[in-house]
Amino acid sequence: MTIREFKMPDVGEGLTEAEILKWYVQPGDTVTDGQVVCEVETAKAAVELPIPFDGVVHALLFEEGTTVDVGQVIISVQTGADAPAEAAPVQEAVPAAAEEQPAARQPVLVGYGVSTASTKRRPRKAAAGTAAQNGTAAPAAAPAATPAPAVPAQPNGTAPAGGERPLAKPPVRKLAKDLGIDLAAVVATGQGGIVTREDVHAAATAALAPQAAAPAPVAAPAPAAVQAPAAPAGQVPAAADAAARETRIPVKGVRKVTAQAMVGSAFTAPHVTEFITFDITRTMKLVQELKADPDLAGLRINPLLLIAKAVLVAIRRNPDVNASWDEAAQEIVLKHYVNLGIAAATPRGLIVPNIKDAHAKTLPELSEALSSLVATAREGKTSPADMQNGTLTLTNVGVFGVDTGTPILNPGESAILAIGAIKLQPWVHKGKVKARQVTTLALSFDHRLIDGELGSRFLADIAAVLEHPRRLVSWA
C-alpha cells in the first residue's frame, strides 16, 4: 500500500496561505487524476483544486474553514491497493521540524519573507515534536503532557526560557510586530500550540487595559436557586456579556487583500478626482432601441455597456491615459491594449476582474464579455488571472442610488471611473427647462501619469460620447 500526499499549491502567484471552503470528497471515496477535490479561497479568489493522481481518499487533514499554508499536506490518497486504509490523524501526516532542512527566505506578495519550510516545523502533538529557533530545527527539552501556562516575555523579544520559539504564521508575526506584541508572552489557542491572529489581538487588548491583563479565574456556575434580578425593560443588563453587543469579523481572503491594496494605492498614487454632470437621455433611448434590435437578441444591453464603449472611444482619442507607473525604473509605461476592469461586489468582498483586450471587441462581443465577467464574479469563480494586468476600471455606484463618489485607484492602474445614478432632473434642453435623464461621472486618476489637462479632456470626451451617442461611430 502506498500513501501519496497532496499539498496546498500556490494558486495565487506568491501567496502564502489559502482557506479550505469546501471538501467535495470524503475518506473512502475513489478519486481520479484531475478530479476536483476541494475549493479554496486565497487572498485573490476562490479556486477549485484537482487531485493529480488516482486512488482512494485516505484522510482529509483539515476541516472546512481552516486556513492552510502553501506547501502543507491537505489530503492523503491510498494508491496501489483496493481497500481504503483508516484515516490518519493530522499530526502523523506532517513531518516534525527536526526532519526538515532550513530554506532561504524569499519575497512574497505582501512584502515580508516566508520560509518554504515554515509550515512544517510546527509540532502537531502536545507530547512530542520539535521547535524551530531562528530558522534551525532543535529538539524540544521534554514532552509535555498538558499545555504549559503562558510564559512572560523575555528581554529583547527572545524566546521563552524553555528554548522554544513561539509558533505562528508569517502574517501573524507581522501583525504582532505592528502591534508591538511579544509572541513569547501570547497565550496560543491554535491547533498544536500555534499563535493565531485572535490571540495577538487579545494580547493587544489586554495591554490596553492593564486592570484586565491578568486572566481572571473561571467563575463557578451559580447555584440554580440564585438568579440575577431582571433588568428593566429597554435596558441592557449590567452583567450582560460585552461580546453580545459587538460582532468581530475576521478579515481574510479577498477582503484582506482588498484592504491592503486600497491602503497601498491611496498612499502611493497621488489621486486627483474630477466630476462632470451631463444629459444622458439620448444614450438611454439608444439602450432601448438596441434591446429591440433582433440582431442583438439574447445579449444583455444596459447603460453600463454603452458607458464602457464610450470609455474605450475616449481612450482611443486620449491614449496617454492608458498607462502605468514603473517605480523601479522611474518610467511611464504606455499600454497599447485596454484590459477594462469592472468592480464587482461579491459575498466574499469587492473584486475587480477585467475584460482582456476590450479595445478590440465589437459591441456584441463586449456585451458577452461583460455578462460573463459579472456572472462568474457573483458565483465566486473568478480566477486570479482574470484580475491581473488591468489598465483602467469602471465602478457603477449608481446601482445603489448613489450620485457620485471619489473612487480609489485599483493598484497599478491609471484611472477609475465612478458612474452615478441616472435620474430624471430639470435640465435646460434646447433653451427650455425639461425633465431629462441626468448623471454624474467621477474620474480619479494617478497624477504621476495623467495631468489635469489630459484627465479633463478624457472625462469630457466620455461625457460628450454619452450626450451624443452617434459619436460612438463618428469618433471610433
The catalytically annotated residue of 58, 336, 447, 468 is 447
* Measured distance CA(323)–CA(451) in Å, rounded: 12
Half-sphere exposure of 194 (CA within 13 A, CB side): 22
- One-character DSSP codes across 388-425: SS--EEEEEGGGGT-----PPPPTT-SEEEEE---EEE
Residue 58 falls in the annotated catalytic set: no
H or E segment to which residue 307 belongs = helix 303-317
Contact of 335 with 324, CB cutoff 8 Å: yes
| Residue carrying the nine cell digits 507530547 | 127
Helix ranges restricted to H, 26-161: 90-93
Are 152 and 145 a contacting pair, CB within 8 Å? no
Sign of the C-alpha dihedral, residues 143, 148, 154, 159?
A: positive
The angle subtended at Cα 276 by Cα 273 and Cα 281, nearest 5°, is 145
CA–CA separation, 426 vs 432, rounded Å?
A: 10
Please list the alpha-helical segments (H only) found in 136-252: 170-179, 197-208
Find cell 481497500 and name the residue.
83
44: its cell numbers: 485573490
Query: Could you tell me which of 175, 49, 47 has the C-alpha nearest to residue 110?
Result: 175
Burial of residue 116, with CB atoms counted within 10 A of its CB: 0-12 exposed, 13-18 middle, 19 or more buried: middle
Closest CA to 163 of 120, 187, 186, 134: 134
Contact 462, 311 (CB under 8 A): yes
Annotated catalytic residues are 447
